[in-house]
Structure 1
Amino acid sequence: MTSVMEGVRVLEVAEHTFVPAASALLSDLGADVIKIEHVERGDAMRGLASTGTAFVPSDVHVLLEHSNRGKRSLALDIATPEGAEILYQLAATSDVFLTNKLPHVRAKLHIEVDDIRAHNPDIIYVRGTGQGERGPDADKGSYDGLAFWARAGVAMGIMQPEHGQVPYPPGPGFGDSIGAMAIAGGIAMALYHRERTSEATVVDVSLLSSAMWAMAQAIGLSVNLGRGWAPPPIDAPRGNPLVGTYRTKDGRWLSFSCLQAARYWPPFCESVGRGDLATDPRFADHSSLMAHSDEAARAVGEVIAQRTVDEWRDALKDFIGQWTVVQDTLEAARDPQSIANGYLQPCETAAGVPFEMVAAPVQFDEKPAAAGRAPEFNEHGDAILTDLGLDWEKILDLKVRGIIA
């Protein structure tokens, strides 16, 4: 794959997933990412032992790997004058400064835009926040389960009232990883703009803005119609019998999205061995099919319930309409399409333990980006400092005084 970000250096002062996952994407695509970690504990993600619903294996910290692949780690106390000076020296050699620190923390640490640009006027300054850089909650922390999932209408957009509870996000870092793509894209745009105009910009992306973009069509309808978006009731009429999900004989589900119902109805009926449904006067053309959509949906449900999911994979493989099996995450990983396109990439931890990670979602020249591994805590500290011109005596002195690990 073409390393489209080769030659770009990113200096990261961030932790958890939302912002670090953005530079992880850039690293996969060739960027040199220097990760500044807390001098004692490192990125807080290193200590995460459970997602709340699943334990993180001790031999492969996949969550940490996902958002820190390919980076170089330096454990540095940037709250000290000596640590701040090293940070500024690194900023002078970087194209991008990336942080998720809150405004009051950035001010306390002297890593605001003006602080960093005093040492590199051409650096692109990037902030990832929970709710945005302005407004009453600008200085409040958040997580994707809050700003992305709960606040932006995503959870309400799928919540069925009859379930009696707000659904959990579908996986750890769900909103974080989506928002990270927006940050990575914003950085690429800012680099392109600087290349054309020599102007360095400030880039802002929040979990709230990312989620609102993901929900943009629903939000647009909501403000136009004056009511919040919600899914249809479970017992709502289908309208189109070839849009929605149907349960198979073995308790699995098929999902259909054939928006042109009349076009796909005859070939569907032929594929499932029910040609009689195509000639049934109730379903013979678009108007009659729509007029009797509930009856058609019941007929489809009865048909789908007669075979297992594997039987339907075979029976519907040549059906020209749009459908899929509803899969879990392990099935998605082993999906022939995922394998053929390299959507998972092999990797090894620093200790040599093999595992797989989802690849960067963008491919160049028809090849997936190889996934690097996350660094060990302060793995590259000495090399980074040596590259800055610090001699070994100075490095030892900084270690003794706790300014570097």
Structure 2
Amino acid sequence: MSKPLEGIKVVEVAMWAFVPVTGGMLADLGAEVIKVEPPSGDPIRGLQTGGTEGAARGLDYSWESYNRGKHSITLDLKQEAGRAVLMKLLADADVFLTSLLPPARRSMGIDAGTLRAAFPGLIYASGSASGPNGPESGKGGYDAISFWARGGVSSSITEDGADRPVGPPGPAFGDSLSGSMLAGAVSAALVKKARTGEGSEVDVSLLGTAMWAMQRVIAQATDNDVLKFPRPADLAPHNVLVCNYRTRDGRFVALCMLQADKYWTRLCEAAGRPDLAADPRYATAAARRENRAACFADMQALFASKTLGEWKTILARQDGQWDVVQHVGEMKDDVQVRANRYLQRVDCGDGTDLPLVSLPMLFEKQAMPARRAPELGADSDAVLQGLGYSEEAIITLKVQGVVF
């Protein structure tokens, strides 16, 4: 099966996770992605974010996840000779990806105005902290501050009176979402280019992506002039069939039965508690809301009376919406993960393999094959030769410190 972006050339000058996520997605979709790194490499290489980071196997899961399938060339873009190589790379490129701050881009002559003037058909795609306009457009940011904190995500999920705001569930949470958004913007710009021949300048920010994810509550807070919606601990839900419940063995089951009256009796009967369905206090959604403290307590006791395994059997007998609150280490055994190849084993070339999460986009019901991320400068010589540099010229660039 051919890949959707085969024949598309992408040049990436980006670091850390946000914009590299975009490049990794485009690579999985078939684009040739050439990652331009400084001689010291992208600083995310070897970044320790907790856990072993695959040290025993020499793996860096962050690097592998966000830079999958790319080619790596090292260039010192602070030198004229390095920028000259970049211009040759861009001569037949479709997309330029960058996460550098505007002042750095201008100083290197790789800002949007300069590159689009030189290459009118180029799609210039940038990832920013809080957008390309406004007084803080030149300010940098990271997932934890621009997406999670400033974007209202953290405060919205933190219980009232907590000692500190809830933090991200793992590395690059907002980066991955924002990088996906930027990949979508690039794809739309590629369609425009195919249709009109025109290039585009596109930008996605961590702040804007967080707001998109939080759009429902932001719209309501804005319309109602509310600072923050309260989030008290252990609040009885208005609908007891939209809640997470602890089981006897300490696991959790998530219910999301929005049409409560449709499922209430079926659930109670499947659980062996028809008396709850018959209780006049709980007969309708309105009655359950009016008596929600008592109803919630009964539901908590009911779920605490059985193990997760027992609940999986019980809940499978009724057609309401539910699922298990899974741990990340369980994902590899999920039947749907396996059936759709949402997790792949990528050959490392040394008799071992590496697990990588697949793009969540299936084409013809097939997952896009993933590949490993490159070693630093692994493709420098091959890329330069492809641009017409002789062996002598390549050696000269290395002696000058332009290429590693």
Fold shared per TM-score above 0.5: yes
Residue in 2 that maps onto 1:354: 353
- Structure 2 CA distance, aligned partners of 1:244 and 1:97? 45
Partner of 2:111: 112
1:387 aligned partner: 386
Corresponding residue for residue 312 of structure 2: 313
Matches of 1:296 and 1:137 in 2, distance apart? 50
2:54 equivalent in structure 1 = 57
Letter of the structure 1 residue corresponding to residue 109 of structure 2: H
Deviates more, 1:95-104 or 1:297-306: 297-306
Deviation at 1:294, TM superposition (A): 2.3
* Pair 2,226 (structure 1): closer, same or farther in 2 beyond 3 Å: farther
Q: In the TM superposition, what are the counterparts of 1:140-151 in structure 2 within 5 Å?
A: 140-151=139-150
Letter in 2 for 1:23: G
SS in 1 for 2:367: coil
Task: Report the equivalent of 2:288.
Answer: 289
Deviation per CA, 1:1-57: give whole Å up to 9, x if none: 540011110000001100001010010010000000012x11111131x21x43422
| Whole-Å separation in 1 of the counterparts to 2:283 and 2:117 | 73
Deviation of 1:197 after TM superposition, in Å, equals 1.5
Partner of 2:91: 92
**Contact 1:73 / 1:381 at 8 angstroms: preserved in 2?**
yes
**CA contact 1:242–1:297 (8 Å) conserved in 2:** no
In 2, distance between residues paired with 1:402 and 1:353? 34
Helix, strand or coil for the counterpart of 1:19?
helix
SS at match of 1:355: strand
Report the Cα offset of residue 350 of structure 1: 6.2
- 2-structure distance, mates of 1:396, 1:289: 77
Q: Return the TM-score normalized by structure 1.
A: 0.96
Structure 2 residue 246 is the aligned partner of structure 1 residue 254:
no
Instruction: Give the letter aligned to residue 135 of structure 1.
Output: G
Tell me what 1:43 maps to.
Answer: 42
The Cα shift of 1:117 comes to: 2.6
Specify the alignment match of 2:330 in structure 1: 331
Does the C-alpha gap of structure 1 residues 329 and 275 become closer, same or farther in structure 2, counting only changes over 3 Å? same
How much has 1:99 moved relative to structure 2?
Answer: 0.2
Q: Deviations over 1:334-358 (max 9, x none)?
A: 2211111111111134655411111
State the secondary structure of the residue aligned to 1:265. helix
CA distance in 1, matches of 2:171, 2:118: 37
Q: Which amino acid aligns with 2:282?
A: F
> For each residue in 1:230-287, what CA deviation from the matched residue of structure 2 results, as whole angstroms up to 9, or x when unmatched?
4531233321111111111111111111111111101100111111211222222333
Q: Which residue of 2 aligns with 1:18?
A: 18
SS at match of 2:320: coil
Q: How does 1:122-161 map to 2 (within 5 A)?
A: 122-161=121-160
Cα contact 2:239–2:285 (8 A) shared by 1: no
Q: Which residues of structure 1 form unaligned runs of 5+?
A: none
RMSD: 1.4
C-alpha distance in structure 1 between counterparts of 2:285 and 2:201, whole Å: 53
Give distance in 2, aligned partners of 1:321 and 1:297. 18
Question: AA paired with 1:122?
Answer: G
Displacement, 1:402? Answer: 0.9
Q: Which amino acid aligns with 1:240?
A: N
Aligned pairs (5 A) from 1:215-230: 215-230=214-229
Distance in 2, matches of 1:84 and 1:358, equals 34
Please give the alpha-carbon distance, in whole angstroms, between the structure 2 residues aligned to 1:241 and 1:357.
37
CA gap of 1:123–1:350, structure 2 versus 1, over 3 A, is farther
Counterpart CA distance in 2 for 1:108 and 1:251 is: 57
Mapped partners of 2:383, 2:200: distance in 1: 26
Kindly provide the amino acid, as one letter, of the partner of residue 22 in structure 1: T
Would you say the 8 A contact 1:349–1:374 is kept in 2?
A: no
Offset at residue 362 of structure 1 (A):
1.1
Asked whether the equivalents of residues 60 and 353 of structure 1 are also in contact (C-alpha less than 8 Å), the reply is: no
Letter in 2 for 1:253: F
Percent identity (aligned): 40
Equivalent pair of 1:350/1:376 in contact (CA under 8 Å) = no
- Which segments of structure 1 move beyond 6 Å, counting only runs of 4 or more? none
Q: 2:31: which partner in 1?
A: 31
Aligned to 2:6: 6
User: 1:275 aligns to what?
Assistant: 274
Q: What is the aligned length? A: 402
Q: Distance in 1 between matches of 2:362 and 2:161?
A: 42
Change (3 A) 1:206 1:352: farther
Q: Contact conserved, 2:120 with 2:198, CA < 8 A, in 1?
A: no
State the secondary structure of the residue aligned to 1:374: coil
1:197 and 2:219 equivalent? no
Instruction: After superposition, give the CA deviation of every residue in 1:180-202 in whole Å (9 maximum; x if it has no partner).
Output: 11000000000101111222110
Amino acid at match of 2:33: V
Letter in 2 for 1:313: K
Provide the residue aligned with 1:211 in structure 2: 210
Distance (whole Å) between structure 1 residues aligned to residue 115 and residue 348 of structure 2: 33
**Alignment of 1:121 onto 2:120:** yes
Q: Mean Cα displacement is larger for which, 27-36 or 274-283?
A: 274-283
Q: What 5-or-longer segments of structure 2 have no aligned partner? A: none
For residue 133 of structure 1, give the secondary structure of its aligned residue in structure 2.
coil
Q: 1:230 to 1:330 in 2, by over 3 A?
A: farther
